[in-house]
Structure 1
């Protein structure tokens, strides 16, 4: 029950406060550790495909296991002093593992720039939340990128952390964040990370396999709650959920595209190279800035459904065991 209460408190605090800029965030420290480990491992292992693969495997093992061990030890140690201290730390880390409000705020900044600012303002705003090149994005490309990142990060920033949190508390949620952060930093198929980042990318795929599919179905369920089309969301999800190099990314993107009745994905530039990604969804109408708002509402509705479902599942399992 402590884990459920900590998850509930962390979820509510995230919706209220988001991610304050003044507060140190575990992901920042994870990023520094990844950079330091990468430099160390590249010095130790030979600059060959096998050497880089081996270094990447060690990074993919050390960071999440180290995160789990360190955070678990902190929770356990504070519990020896007083259970309230352990609970407070779990609430803090559950809050920091979630990103619903931060994602909504950043996507709203993109919409605001499109409506009241210039296209360059919107490109700059969307560059904060996407990994693709944004300097040459069209107005429609900016909107599409914002909607896609809300859809994809609904899984990475809400459903997956909640899933692992309710399975193993805040330490397991932060271990997941370590995996996700590794993938965002080294999980690229470019010259630098083709081999070194492969283990991190595969581990991220595995960690997100079930949560991404659950997230897609939660978006389908959330669609009618905000006036969108659940039937079309389910149909497009079934048709387009595999239209991505990643086994997980198209799951939520296809459900979002179907719910809104727009087309997402398509060709995109990464590190100066055009990637011919297939289109997801049907081009039934032009995409518009208001679609960013609709995606944000689906994010919130789906997040509440995820919390209720996963907390209910944990309580149900506890009831069966006890």
Structure 2
């Protein structure tokens, strides 16, 4: 029962405050752990495909185990001191795991520069939230990239961690963020990380398999609620949700593209190399900066809908089991 209240309060805190820059963030500590372990493991294991693969497995195990164990034992210790202290700290942890407000802030910053016609800053701040090369993108490509990021991170940054927190509190939430942060830092198919990050990418795909599909369906329902094209969201979701190298990313992206009646994805450059990618959605109209606002609203509605549904399920399980 406590975790239902904790997650709900944490969601509300993120909705209001986001991630203040002055507040130390645990995800940054996970990032530092990954960087440190990467350096150490790179010295221990041989520079070969096999060596990189084994080193990547050890990296994943160390980071994921630490991401779970530290909050788990910390909260256990606080519960022995004072249960209310444990609830406060766990609420703070869960609040910091949610990334909805920060996603909105970063996206709207790019939106502001697009509206101002400032291409240089649009590219600069887009590079803060996407992995692709941004130096040669025009306003249309920048807008599409922001919309894709909002849609994908509705799952990675809000709904997926929400599900894990409702399953096992902050320790499960941090376990998920450990996996997700590993994928964002080493899960690339380039020369450096193809083997070293392979295991981390696979684990991330596994953990996100169900949440990504839930997010896609929540966005379809949300499209009806916010006055977007819900019928087209469902149609495109069913048709294009596999149009991505990742087994998960196109699920929320396809629902969002259908809801907005625009086309997303397509070819993109990563680390100077062109990757051929399928498109998602139909090119029914020109993309505009306002699509960023609409995608952000859709992300919030889908997140709130998911919170209500899964907290309801958790309450039912508590009462009847």
TM-score bracket for this pair, using the shorter chain length: over 0.9
2:118 and 2:62 map into 1 onto residues whose CA distance is 44
SS at match of 1:196: coil
**Where does residue 288 of structure 2 map in the other structure?**
288
Find the counterpart in structure 1 of residue 167 from structure 2: 167
* 1:29-56 CA-partner distances (Å, limit 9, x unpaired): 0011001111111111111111111111
Partner of 2:258: 258
- Whole-angstrom CA distance in 1 between matches of 2:175 and 2:26: 10
1:264 alignment partner, SS class: strand
Tell me which residue corresponds to 2:39.
Answer: 39
CA distance, structure 2, for counterparts of residue 129 and residue 54 of structure 1: 29
Aligned equivalents of 1:50 and 1:279: distance in 2?
A: 34
Matched, 1:116 2:92: no
Take 2:232 and 2:126, find their aligned partners in 1: how far apart are those partners?
27
Other-structure match for 1:2: 2
Counterparts in 2 of 1:203-218, with a 5 A limit?
Answer: 203-218=203-218
Cα distance in 2, alignment partners of residues 52 and 292 from structure 1: 39
Counterpart of 1:135? 135
Is residue 64 of structure 1 aligned with residue 64 of structure 2?
Answer: yes
Equivalent-residue separation in structure 1 for 2:247 and 2:30 (angstroms): 25
Q: Provide the rounded CA distance (Å) in 1 between the counterparts of 2:95 and 2:258.
A: 30
Per the TM alignment, residue 273 of structure 1 is displaced from its structure 2 partner at its CA by 0.6
Match of 1:125 in 2: 125
Alignment partner, residue 240 of structure 1: 240
The CA distance in 1 between the partners of 2:127 and 2:41, in whole Å, is: 30
| Aligned length in residues | 321
Rounded to whole Å, the distance in 1 between the matches of 2:38 and 2:125 is 29
Shift of 1:117: 4.0
Tell me the SS of whatever aligns to 1:136: coil
**TM-score, normalization by structure 2:** 0.99
What is the TM-score of this pair, normalised by structure 1? 0.98
Does 2:220 correspond to 1:220?
Answer: yes
The root-mean-square deviation of aligned C-alpha atoms, in Å, is: 0.8
Unaligned residue ranges in structure 2 (runs of 5+) = none
Q: Does 1:103 align with 2:103?
A: yes
Q: What secondary structure does 2:269 align onto?
A: strand
Paired with 2:209 and 2:242, the residues of 1 have a C-alpha distance of 12
Name the residue aligned to 1:279. Answer: 279
2:196 equivalent in structure 1 = 196
Deviations 1:127-167 (A, max 9, x none): 11111000100110000000000000000000000000000
Output the CA distance in 2 between the equivalents of 1:106 and 1:50.
Answer: 38
Q: CA deviation at 1:79?
A: 0.5
Q: Structure 1: 5+ residue runs without aligned partners?
A: none
Q: Which residue of 2 aligns with 1:82?
A: 82
Is structure 2 residue 93 aligned with structure 1 residue 93?
A: yes
Question: How far off is 1:320 after superposition?
Answer: 2.4
1:154 is aligned to 154
Runs of 4+ in structure 1 off by over 6 angstroms are none
In 2, Cα distance between equivalents of 1:128 and 1:309: 32
Q: Which residue of 2 aligns with 1:297?
A: 297
Please give the alpha-carbon distance, in whole angstroms, between the structure 1 residues aligned to 2:3 and 2:41: 36
Report the equivalent of 1:53: 53
Instruction: State the alpha-carbon separation in 2 of the partners of residues 232 and 158 from structure 1.
Output: 24
Partner residue, 1:314: 314
**Residue 179 of structure 2 aligns to a residue in which SS?**
helix
The secondary structure found in structure 2 opposite 1:280 is strand
